[in-house]
Structure 1
Amino acid sequence: MDMITPEPRPAWIAGRPEQGASTLTVRHPYDGSEVATVAVPGPEQVERAVAAAVSVAKEFRRSPAHTRANALEHVSRRLAERAEEIAEVITAENGKPLKWAAAEVNRAVSVFRIAAEEARRFSGDLQRLDSDPSGEGRLAITRRIPRGPVLGIAPFNFPLNLVAHKVAPSLAVGAPIIIKPAPRTPLSALILGEILAETDLPEGAFSVLPLGNEETAALVADPRLPVVSFTGSGPVGWSLADAAPRKHVVLELGGNAAAVVLRDWPDPEGAAQRIATFGNYQAGQSCIAVQRVIVEREVADELLPALLEAVQAQRTGDPYDTTVDVGPVVDEAAAERI
Structure 2
Amino acid sequence: MKMFCAGQWQDTTQTINVTNSFDQSIIDTIPRGSSEDVTNAVTVLEQGARIMKAMTPYDRSLILQKVSELMLERSEDLARTISLEEGKVLAESQVETMRSAEVIRLSGEEARRMTGEMIPLEGNAGGKNKLGFTLRVPCGIVAAITPFNFPLNLVCHKVGPAIAAGNAILLKPASDTPLSALKLTEILLEAGLPPEAIACITGPGGEIGQAICTEPRIRKISFTGSYEVGAKICEMAGMKRVTMELGSNSPVVIMDDADLEKAATAITMAGYANAGQVCISAQRILTSSAIKTDFVDLLKSKVESLTTGNQLDESTKIGPMVRETDAARVEEWVNEAISQGARLVSGGERQGAIYTPTILDETRPEMLVVKDEIFGPAVALSYFDDVNEAITMANDTTYGLAAGIFTQDVDRAMKFARQVDSGNIHINWSSQWRADAMPYGGLKHSGTGKEGPKYAIHEMSEEKMVVMHLAD
TM-score bin, normalised by smaller chain: over 0.9
Provide the C-alpha distance between the structure 2 equivalents of 1:79 and 1:260, rounded to a whole number of angstroms.
Answer: 38
Deviations 1:29-55 (CA, angstroms, capped at 9, x unpaired): 111011111123455543331101112
Unaligned runs of 5+ in 1: 1-8
Q: 1:198-239: per-residue Cα shift (whole Å, max 9, x none)?
A: 122223211110021213211211111121111101101101
2:137 to 131, 145, 154: 145
1:76 aligned counterpart, secondary structure = helix
Answering whether residue 276 of structure 2 is matched by residue 259 of structure 1, we say: no
Q: Using the alignment, how far apart are the partners of 2:283 and 2:312 within structure 1?
A: 26
Using the TM superposition, name which of 148-157 and 241-250 deviates more: 241-250
Partner of 2:294: 302
Residue-by-residue CA offset, 1:153-209 (whole Å, 9 max, x unaligned): 111111111111110010000111100010011000000011011122223211110
Matches within 5 A, 1:28-177: 28-41=20-33, 45-136=37-128, 138-177=130-169
Task: Give the SS at the match of 2:122.
Answer: coil
Aligned residue runs from structure 1 range 193-208, under 5 A: 193-208=185-200
Unaligned runs of 5+ in 2: 331-472
For 1:160 and 1:272, the matched residues in 2 are separated by 29
Q: Which has the larger radius of gyration?
A: 2
CA contact (8 A) 2:35 2:207 kept: no
Of 299, 314, 325, 1:333 maps to 325
The answer (yes or no) to whether the contact 2:31–2:203 under 8 Å persists in 1 is no
- Tell me, in whole angstroms, the C-alpha distance in 1 between the residues paired with 2:210 and 2:40: 17
The counterpart of 1:225, out of the listed 203, 218, 221, is 218
* More divergent stretch after superposition (172-181 vs 278-287): 278-287
In structure 1, distance between residues paired with 2:7 and 2:186: 9
Equivalence map 1:239-250=2 (5 Å) = 239-250=232-243
2:185 pairs with 1:190: no
Structure-2 residue corresponding to 1:6: none
Distance 2:115 2:141 in 1: 19
d(CA) in 2 for partners of 1:221 and 1:245?
8
Pick from 191, 213, 216: which aligns with 2:209? 216
| Structure 1: distance between partners of 2:29 and 2:320 | 21
Residue from 231, 251, 256 that aligns with 1:238: 231
Note the C-alpha offset of 1:133: 5.0
Distance 1:43-1:248 versus aligned 2 partners, 3 A rule = closer
CA distance change for structure 1 residues 117 and 15 in 2, over 3 Å: closer, same or farther?
Answer: farther
% of aligned pairs identical? 37
Q: Secondary structure of 1:237's match? A: helix
Question: Does the Cα contact within 8 Å between 2:34 and 2:208 map onto a contact in 1?
Answer: no
Residues 15 and 193 of structure 1 are in contact (CA less than 8 Å); yes or no, is this contact kept in structure 2?
A: no
What is the SS of the residue equivalent to 2:81?
A: helix
Q: Which runs of 4+ in 1 moved over 6 A?
A: none
Contact 1:11 1:40 in 2 (8 A): no
Q: Partner of 2:138: helix, strand, or coil?
A: coil
Q: Bigger CA drift: 48-57 or 122-131?
A: 122-131
For residue 45 of structure 2, give the secondary structure of its aligned residue in structure 1: helix
Q: Determine the structure 2 residue equivalent to 1:26.
A: 18
The one-letter code sitting in structure 2 at the alignment partner of 1:126 is M
> In structure 1, the residue corresponding to 2:307 is in which secondary structure?
coil
TM-score normalized by structure 2?
Answer: 0.67
SS of 1:130's equivalent? helix
Alpha-carbon separation, structure 2, partners of 1:105 and 1:185: 15
8 Å contact from structure 1 (residues 228, 247) kept in 2? yes
Change (3 A) 1:242 1:42: closer
Give, in angstroms, the shift of residue 284 of structure 1. 1.4
How many Å separate the matches in 2 of 1:226 and 1:21?
Answer: 30
**Is the 2:2–2:30 contact (alpha carbons within 8 Å) kept by the matching residues of 1?**
yes
Amino acid at match of 1:151: A
If the length of structure 1 is used for normalisation, what is the TM-score?
Answer: 0.93
* 8 Å Cα contact 1:277-1:314 kept in structure 2: no
Pick from 160, 164, 179 the counterpart of residue 171 of structure 2. 179
What residue number does 1:293 align with? 285
Q: Using the alignment, how far apart are the partners of 1:103 and 1:271 within structure 2?
A: 22
Paired letter, 1:253: L
Q: Distance in 2 between matches of 1:316 and 1:203?
A: 42
Indicate if the aligned counterparts of 1:14 and 1:205 stay in contact, CA closer than 8 A: no
- TM-aligned CA deviation for residue 24 of structure 1: 0.9
Contact 1:22 1:42 in 2 (8 A): no
CA gap of 1:242–1:44, structure 2 versus 1, over 3 A, is closer
Is the partner of 1:124 in helix, strand or coil? Answer: coil
Question: Deviation at 1:332?
Answer: 1.7
Cα RMSD of the aligned pairs, angstroms, is 1.6
Higher deviation after alignment, 235-244 or 208-217: 208-217
